[in-house]
Structure formats: structure tokens, C-alpha cells
Amino acid sequence: MMPAVIVAGRSLCLSGILLTLFLYAAACYAQPGPEAEQEALRQGLQEAGNSQVDFIRVLESHLFQYPQTMQRAELERTIVKAATEVKDNRRIVLYGERVLSREPDNRDLLDRVTRLLLAGEDKEKSGRALEYARRLEQSIYTVKGPAPGASGAAGFAENRGRALGRAWLYQSRAIGNLGKLAEAEALARRSYEVYPTAESAREIGRWLHRQGKVEEAIARTADAFAIADPAGEEADRKKDRKRLSEWKGNETGLGDLLLAAYDRTQATLSAKRAQWLALDPNAEAASVMQFTLTGLKGDKLRMDTLLGKVVVLDFWATWCGPCRAQQPLYEKVKERFKDNTDVVFLNINTDEDHSVVQPFLAQMKWNKTVYFEDGMSSLLKVTNIPMTLVVGRDGQIASRMNGYVEDRFVDMLSNRIATALAENPR
């Protein structure tokens, strides 16, 4: 059932997106302003009912009727949201550019407006698009991500590459439309190098062909055809197929050309993926034993080297009072199993700021080997600490203890370790 809201005594059932837009607009007329203006907006929204098209029309008419309204920024932003939902490209550009004049670093809107301006080859629109594409590139550089080796570094690098690839692709298209073909080709190649896509390969081919470099253009267009692009459309691949036949003049050897393009693009994509993964060895870890943990001095521990043993993971942080109170109990459990080489105890720190850990250990006089969680907390859904996990000999989670009961913790954890040892014995 759709949610309902009451406007001037009338109940309206709205879809999720329209409800969001409606409440956003309602917040606008809740702001201080002339009473007549607020009443006009209320009445217009009532008449619009649950029609998104009429919703846009009401807000647009209100802006025309009250050009000096204090709510202009909010209403124009709302129109962009509604226009995006109904795929009204003209209004997305019209009001999107107005919003961008106030919010110059709005990355989502920069991307959307730039792409729409480049739907054709109009030089005036391409000039505006070029300015937005360059602004988009600069906004990407301002986003700070995790350091190499830290959890999320690979994903951040991939997302950054994807975003930069789009910014350079847009710049390529805009500059090419302005007649600078060699520069457009160079930017398209730059886009492909940072994040290989069918669209960037297609763009390279486009500007090569415009420069009369037909053989190179054919190879790059074959690359575009060979790359699986979830964001692309089948119509684009059909156009690629048609271009290949037209530019070659015949279809002789077309199969070999596409097979070579497939091998070439797969090698490029694999190399790029390996480059991202090198920043974060745990990016594709799907189980606890696929992790590599980093120690205080940068040393590495591959969890798969502990397969066949029972591993006890103690998740804690320097700011966690209960974690400090639990430590003496945890040490008692370790003492019970100190002579059993089949049991390994690992202290897993979850502090975001790694630099605070070593001073904390010195202050507390804790003589222990500590590893950072490196993304393991997210995989294992460690949402509160202290938390103790027991991993069985088979690498699967055998027990999970959230917090601790002071007078029972030592025996409870000891029993769970003993149970895990008894399962799958060597």
C-alpha cells in the first residue's frame, strides 16, 4: 500500500519518489514568506494530486508567478529531482544548470547535466559541457579515500577511476565537437586507460575515424563491441557492428578481428583489476580465512595459514571501556590453552586511527601481538565490541560471543574452544 499524506483536507496516495519530492516541497512552503505565496503553493500542490508531471508544472508555475521567492533554490532543486524521475531531459538541463550555479561541486548533477548536453554535437552546448566536465574532474580530486593497503582502498580506487574516466570521456566528446580531434582522441584514450569501458573505446574509434585513421578506428570500435558493458545499451553494440562493416568495406576477417579484440580487452581489464586489488588484498575476501591482516609494524598474517587450527578472534578498540575490563579474563583463557599449539589467539583492533594503538598498548602495559581488522569487521558483521569469535578447524565460525558475563566468561569461552577442538579432529 502506498503511503498517504493530507493536503488541505485531501488524502493523497503517493509513490515513494513522489512522496519524497512532495515532502521536500512541503518543507519549502513551511519556510517564512508572504502568506499569499504559501497559500498559492499549497493550493497548487493539492491540485497536482499524485501526478509527477503536474507536480513539476505547479512548481514551475509558482516560480514564474513569484520570481523573487526566497524558496527558489529549494524549488529548483526539487524540480530537478522530479524531472530526473520522469526522464524530462530538457528540464534536467534547464534547472540543473541553475542549481549548479549555486552548487558548483554537485558531482551527481554535474555528471547528469554534462551527459545530456553532449547528446548531440551542438557547439554551444559542448562548450558548456566542457566547463562542467572539467569542474567534475576537479571535484573528484577533492575526495579523500583510504590509504593503500587499508580496507576499502581497492573499491575507492576503482570508483575514482570510473569517475575520472567519465569526466575525461565527457571532455573528449565536448572538445571533439568543438573541432579539436587529436585532443579529443588523447582524452578518450586517457579515459580508457584509467577505466576501460565500451563507451571510451567507442569514443577513441570515433575521433580516430574523423581524423582518417580508419584501421585504428576499426580496432578500437571492435574493442567497444567486445567489452561487456552493463551500463551500455544493445543499440550501441548494433551501431558498433554496423560501423565495423561499413568502415572495413566488407566482412572478410571480421570474426578474427572481434576475437582479437576480445582477447585484448580482457587482458586490459584483468590488468586494471589486478592493479586495484594490489591496493587492498582483502577486497575480494569472502570468508575469514581469505583475509590478510596487517600488524602494528606492517607485518602481514595470511589467515589461510591457520587452517586446521582453532582461531580465537578478540575484537576490541582503545576507546572501549568494556574491552579493557575483559582483557584480564581473556588472558586467563589464553593461559588454559598455552600448551595447545592447535589454538591461536588473535587480538583484532578496530580503531579507525591506527596511530593511537601503540601508545595505548604502552600505557596499559599490554604485551600482545595486535592486528588491525582490515575490513574483517564488515564481513563478519562485528557491530559492537568487545566481541569474541571462535573459528573452527574448517575455517567456519564456530561461536560468536557478544560482550561478556564477568563471572562466566572464562569458562564459557574455554568450553567453546574445547568444543571447536573436538570437531574435525586431526
Single-letter residue type at 172: S
Closest Cα partner for 202 from 151, 241, 156? 241
CA–CA dist 198, 206 (Å, integer): 12
Contact 85, 22 (CB under 8 A): no
82 burial type by CB count under 10 A (0-12 exposed, 13-18 middle, 19+ buried): buried
Would you give the DSSP letter of residue 249?
S
Nearest to 99 by CA among 67, 76, 122, 127: 76
Is 240:217 a contact under the CB 8 Å cutoff? no
Question: Residue 238 contacts by C-beta under 8 Å, 6 or more apart in sequence?
Answer: none
The conformation of residue 362, written as its DSSP 8-state character, comes to H
CB 177 within 8 A of CB 122: yes
Look-up of cell digits 551501431: 239
Tell me the three cell numbers of residue 266: 580482457
Residue with cell 575476501: 285
* 345's grid cell: 589467539
Q: Are strands 370-372 and 300-302 parallel, antiparallel or unpaired?
A: unpaired
Q: Phi and psi dihedrals of 421, rounded to 5?
A: -65, -35
Element (H, E) at 83: helix 72-85
CA quadruple 23, 24, 25, 26: dihedral sign: positive
Q: Which residues pair with 402 in a beta bridge?
A: 387
Measure the CA–CA gap between 311 and 230, rounded to whole angstroms.
41
Cross-strand partners of 302: 292
Catalogue the long-range contacts made by 59-65 (C-beta closer than 8 Å, 24 or more residues apart).
59/25, 62/37, 65/40
Report how far apart, in Å, the C-alpha atoms of 306 and of each of 301, 343, 393, 424 are. 9, 9, 8, 14
Query: What amino acid occupies position 292?
Result: T
Catalytic site positions:
320, 323
